A and B are shown apart, each in its own frame.
Chain A
Amino acid sequence: MAVAARDGKAAAVRAPAAGGALTRLGRLIREVARRPAGLFGLIVICLLLVVVVAAPLVAPYSPYAQDIVHRLQGPSLHHLFGTDELGRDLLSRVIFGARIALGVAIPAVLIAMFVGLLTGLISGYLGGGTDQVAIVGMDAIQAFPAVILALALLAVLGPSLRNVVIVIGVALAPGYARVVRAMTRAAKQNQYVEAELSLGASTTRIAVHHLLPNIAAPLFILIAMDIPSAIAIEAGLAFLGLGVPPPSPSWGALLADGFSYVLISPWAIIAASAALMLTTLGFAMLGETLRDVLDPKLSGTRRRRKKR
């Protein structure tokens, strides 16, 4: 990782320097793109977004169009990734699979974030009994591995796109709650919270104006890191047959189907796992770069930078 670049510039991004949110976002993106891992993450994610938005235009075939005669083929000029057991074009299925992957992961992570944010802010700020209850709740959820919990909940709720989103959101929420709670408790120690209180500020005002902005950066990082987890959980559920129901081309379903025919043609598995790996890696690298750039531990060096 580009350690050398960290000191001065990294801090520059974090400081709430001149300019609006857009300028700041621009500077953040530029800073991330300067690092190889960050650049890789950005490129992968941009490609993914293009593919997701323009799936019908990019995909050579419909993901559902069967062509039994040409089933289980290897890569060719007609089918770049080959075909599956029903003769469907694997490239098209992988492309539409990206829609499912992100279509599940992004709302699930947003749900997790909102639930976690609210719980974490309240339990961190109020402390005491409220906090204890919240902690027990988080422990109860986190006692199970996310996939197992999601499986159990889906078995009860029944598999559907909406339920998959909710279940993954619930499984990931405690992670956010914990981070937000810890950050809130730390931010609460700052003397400015007492200074605000002594001016008569309400709890809500303090939470929204003076605590939230300080925990926004770590949340940002957590979101980038959690999207691949959500994608992996979604694929895992689909692989086990409890995800988004067929014939949706979820990457997990592609893997499961490909698995049955792996001895005849490995291409479904190769295509789906490549897509999964690339996406996961992209988000993880972006997340890690973001963490380096925004690392809260660097806040001490903020004073040193000066650039209007």
Chain B
Amino acid sequence: MTADPQSGPLLSVRDLRTFFSDRQGVIARLLRRKSGEVRAVDGVSFDVVRGETLGLVGESGSGKSTLARTVMGLVPATGGSASLDGRELVGLRRREWRPLRRRIQMIFQDPASSLSPRFRVSFLLREPYVINKVPPDQQASVDELLDMVGLSAEQANKYPHELSGGQARRVSIARALALHPEVLFADEPTAGLDVSAAASILNLMRDLRDRLGLTYVLITHDLNVVGYFADRIAVMYVGQLVEIGLGDRILAHPRHPYTQALLACAPVPDPHLNEGHLDNVLGGEIPSPHDPPSGCRFHPRCKYADPRCTDEVPRLEDLGEGEMVACHHWRRLDLTPQPPVEATAAAAAVAQTTL
């Protein structure tokens, strides 16, 4: 999917940075003058066009959630910009954010804890309207919202702890979509769900995208998920994007060694197996964003690393058509996975469990 030349991207992120200071207290700060920083997001740029699904992948701790929370204005950006349809989002005050909340929404990583535990589903589903003072004629009823996400009307009386993970996820999606947003950040929508629940959530999300013309930023560490319905994929590593491009191309011909390593351990269609698996392939752990490696951040784990990689930071090279890669040597490497990635097999497994 390429950018519509007339309207420009719907969501545009430029050099976005989010640093957390890891201060302890007044005394500790006075004693140790050194200001500790966690560079959770460190200079990320990408565009998302209307109707597109961008998959954002990366290991745990690479800063995916922080990136989404920063764009949503939930954590303050340290620098850079993020704009929705030309409107700058970074640095907005709460009051200025209000009208934009209806255009951009997010569902959070943990389905169980993203619903307030003391309220029934019906209350939680009306909340978006109450908070945003939506006139009654523009509100969807609780039944309609439940129906939209494939839940029966009787779920309205349940409390969050009485819902299964998949049902809680659906309620979160209904809450986020109640305001008819254009952009939806979905943070690990399948996290904590078993394979069949995960598959039906993905199917629901795809349906909703097609029905409502939604634009997704789909965050996951599971390449099977993005392989299933992302148009483009952005790969994140220790706070930075290392590669971005069309989904099919990335899955078939990764350019960045890190993407290749991710793919090498992707074909396990069980999200729980994936994370441990990754370490076996890569060796070592993801470096801390508190103290990122010099040069290319991937060099300590990269089998193609040479002295240049330790010294010089690779630029994110723009190859046109929305394709970018940040590696000194990508032109010289042939990284096409040996057994071609079984994304299709994974997608088939997902499709089998469809409702």
User: A residues bordering B, Cβ < 8 Å?
Assistant: 15-17, 132, 190-192, 194-202, 205, 209-210, 213-214, 302-303, 306
Contact = CB atoms under 8 A, between A and B. Distances in A.
Interface stretch (B113-121, B226-234, B309-317, B324-332): B113-121
Closest 8 CB pairs of A and B: A200-B101, A191-B114, A213-B118, A192-B116, A191-B113, A195-B114, A191-B108, A210-B116
A198 B172 contact: no
B97 to A, nearest CB: 7
Contacts of B115: 192, 195
Given A192-B114, A195-B172, A195-B175, 18 more contacts: A17-B159, A132-B25, A191-B110, A191-B114, A195-B106, A196-B116, A196-B127, A196-B131, A198-B74, A198-B105, A199-B131, A199-B132, A199-B179, A201-B127, A202-B131, A210-B116, A213-B118, A306-B162
Contacts of B26: 132
Contacts of A199: 101, 105, 127-128, 131-132, 175, 179
B119 to A, nearest CB: 8
Among A192, A210, A303, find the residue whose CB has the most chain B CB atoms closer than 10 A: A192
Contacts of A214: 117-118
Contacts of A302: 161
8 contacts: A15-B161, A194-B74, A195-B114, A199-B127, A200-B101, A202-B131, A302-B161, A303-B161
A201 B124 CA distance: 12
Interface string B85-98: 00000000010011
A190 B113 contact: yes
Among B72, B97, B161, B175, find the residue whose CB has the most chain A CB atoms closer than 10 A: B161
B348 to A, nearest CB: 32
- If over half of A's interface residues share one DSSP class (helix, strand or loop), that class is named, otherwise mixed; here it is helix
Interface in B259-301: none
Contacts of A198: 72, 74, 101, 105-106, 108
A201 B131 contact: yes
Interface residues of B, number: 31
Given A199-B132, A201-B131, A16 B118 contact: yes
B18 to A, nearest CB: 14
A132 B30 CA distance: 15
Contacts of B94: 202
Nearest to B108: A191
B109 interface: yes
A79 B131 CA distance: 65
Contacts of A15: 159, 161
Given A198-B101, A199-B132, A200-B132, A191 B109 contact: yes
Interface in B110-143: 110, 113-119, 127-128, 131-132
B108 A195 contact: yes
A200 B109 CA distance: 18
